[in-house]
Amino acid sequence: ISACLVGSEMCIRDRFWRVAAETTRSTSMIYFVIIGALLITFFMASTGVATTLTGYLLNTGLPPLSILFLIAVVFVLLGSVMDSMTIMMITASTMAGVVTGLGYDPVWWGIVMVMLVELGVVTPPFGLNLFVMKSVAPDTKLSDVYRGVMPFVLADIIKISLLILFPALTLWLPSLGQ
């Protein structure tokens, strides 16, 4: 990069190459996440882990609603330590088999799964988006961020609980197009 400083401003060419390098770095990280998730999904499918897990969950003898709430808790916990795209790529195929095996609609599950994962990324104490919020406002204490997000977490828990208890709420709008 050439030294193209005029006063304290960098020239447009230097800015362009800096942005291009940052974009390339971010894009390559996203591709590594996608490749890793695809490899994990492939190995789970080829070793039979996905089928075994699906069979185990379906044969526990628990009512379908109980299994769904257990899966919901797992998704929220995963959301607090991983980003949402990775969670969905790793778990979507296995959980779709479990949910359809329980007799639920896959479209309904897709909507609920996205909501669960997004709830996980804002749930204290480890929700990744909480730390993003903290970095945007560095003078704010993390405890203030936790307190500020709790009404939204509670509202999301109520909303997701209603959507799990009454799947017709989720499927009403898509059914209008049929």
Q: What is the pLDDT of residues 32-66, one digit of tens each?
A: 888 888 888 888 888 888 888 888 888 888 999 99
Q: How far is Cα 26 from Cα 147, in angstroms, rounded to an integer?
A: 31
Residues 75-104, mean pLDDT to the nearest whole number: 86
Reported as a pLDDT band with limits 50, 70 and 90, residue 10 is low
What pLDDT, on a 0 to 100 scale, did the predictor assign at position 148? Answer: 92
Residue type for position 15? R
Q: Measure Cα distances from 140 to 13, 36, 144, 155 in Å.
A: 36, 35, 7, 23
CB 82 within 8 A of CB 35: no
Q: How far is Cα 79 from Cα 33, in angstroms, rounded to an integer?
A: 15
Residues 154-172, mean pLDDT to the nearest whole number: 91
CB 102 within 8 A of CB 67: yes
Show the tokens assigned to 60: 């526990």
Residues 88-108, mean pLDDT to the nearest whole number: 87
Helix or strand (DSSP H, E) at 168: helix 168-175
What pLDDT, on a 0 to 100 scale, did the predictor assign at position 152? Answer: 94
Percent of the residues in the chain that have a pLDDT greater than 90, as a whole number: 30
Distance of CA 67 to the CA centre of its chain: 19
**Mean pLDDT over each residue of the chain, to the nearest integer:** 85
What pLDDT, on a 0 to 100 scale, did the predictor assign at position 32? Answer: 87
Q: How far is Cα 157 from Cα 116, in angstroms, rounded to an integer?
A: 9
